[in-house]
Amino acid sequence: MAPAPSPPAMHWRDPFRVRSFRFQWPADLATSWAFEMESIVLGWFILVESGSVMMLVVFGSLQYLGSLVSPMFGVVGDRLGYRRMLVLSRALYAALATSFMLLAWLQALTPMIVLFMAALAGLVRPSDMMMRNALIAQTLPPRHLLGTLGISRITSDSARIAGALAGAGVVAWLGMTWAYALITALYTLSFVLSRGVSDVPAPAHDTVRVSPVRDLQLAFGYVWTRPVLMAAMALAFLVNLLAFPFSLGLLPYVAKNIYLTDQTGLGWLGASFAFGGLVGSVVLSSHRFAFRAAQTMVLAGAVWFAVDVLLAFSTHLGVGMALLWVAGLAQSLSMTPLAAVMLRATEPAYRGRVMGMRMLAIWGLPLGLLLSGPLIDRWGYAATAGMYSALGLLLTGAMTVYWRVHIWDRKAPANEPL
């Protein structure tokens, strides 16, 4: 009997042969660039107008507000369809940006108005990535999942690089009103393109429709009884708690107090981490390597923590940039396969809810930041960062041993090559 023909080789252009993704990718790109520009413009406005670092911290925290309700967004997405949710959310972004633009033109914008409207947008923004990933899993063939997620991440990685290098110069160059005119145009473009995404109907439930709260309880039980999903959730929480604080929230402190540099140096540090992430996304989307997704997410997570140990004791700007580049690369090679593992292990009817629950892990980041402040004051930055990173490395090893049958065994379903 003749052997079964092997599947054709995959290429990075394959996802773009799907009409829905040809609309979704540029829509996501426009949204990511608008997100990054908006964070820079509003953060600079609050700092200049209020002179309060606390208000700046509050503004940053409000951007994570919606992660608390992301599971409920997942419930709604599973019921109504992810495309409809994506279109509605981007219409909201465009409407809020238009309001900001008009208030800036009328010179009526105040820090309190910014915080209020940022809270409205913050209820939805954390769920944007969840809806993107759920749509990709719904509209792309399974064998293209990891590569497509890598291509999708390029949208946010490229936006972070540009944002880190541009800094507050966006406002100085364009002025507040014209900066927001550009942001509004990007959101509007994203809304228009999102309407071209495939409107695949949400999977029908075989059981009687239950209340949204009961639906959410079922989703928690679904994750709790599946070791692969629990392992992915645990790793996502660990990196948010113990790794992301030093490459995101504390980076201004590191730039000023450790590397003794200014805002330009801070921009280069942030861009180094983002560029590493971009390279990782390109590697994953190239299909040149056969990745075992679960093993890759664990190994890359361990490398990330190991690099952070070295970064904790670095005092030279050039060395710090190089280490942040490697950390960004490891971050991309860990978080993208993690999303692929969760999507592949989840039945279509539960994808929105499960990916919404994944967003709860983001709250490890503000928790890690809050804990790091007193520790840095008492023991110093190097000791605190070293302790965080070493603990992360230890716990990553422990979770790998605990769930080794499900995430480390080469024959495990989560390690089927992607």
The DSSP result for 82-132, as a single string, is HHHHHHHHHHHHHHHHHHHHHHHHTT---HHHHHHHHHHHHTTGGGHHHHH
Among residues 390, 355, 268, 370, the alpha carbon closest in space to that of 319 is found at 268
| Token pair belonging to 182 | 């550009």
CA distance 293 to 263: 37
Domains of the chain (ranges plus CATH)? Answer: 14-200 (1.20.1250.20), 211-418 (1.20.1250.20)
Measure Cα distances from 284 to 17, 134, 194 in Å. 18, 18, 24
Q: Name which of 8-22, 169-183, 187-201, 284-298 the model is least confident about.
A: 8-22
What residue spans of 243-262 are helical by DSSP H? 244-247, 251-253
Q: Mean per-residue pLDDT for 389-399?
A: 97
Q: Is the pTM of this model over 0.95?
A: no
For residue 248, what pLDDT is reported?
77
Chain segment 110-142, per-residue pLDDT in tens: 999 999 998 888 888 888 887 888 888 888 877
For residue 233, what pLDDT is reported?
94
For residue 2, what pLDDT is reported?
45
Chain segment 266-296, per-residue pLDDT in tens: 778 888 999 999 999 888 887 666 778 899 9
Quote the mean pLDDT of the chain. 84
For residue 54, what pLDDT is reported?
67
Secondary structure tally for the chain: helices H, strands E: 20, 0
Residue 13 · residue 152 · CB < 8 Å: no
Of 188 and 363, which is predicted with more confidence?
A: 188
Give the 3-state secondary structure of residue 8. coil
Q: Name which of 10-24, 75-89, 222-236 the model is least confident about.
A: 10-24
Strand partners, 417: 292
Q: Name which of 40-44, 57-61, 256-260, 341-345 the model is least confident about.
A: 57-61
pLDDT at 240 exceeding the cut of 80: yes
Q: In which band, very low, low, confident or very high, does the pLDDT at 205 lie, cut at 50, 70 and 90? A: very low
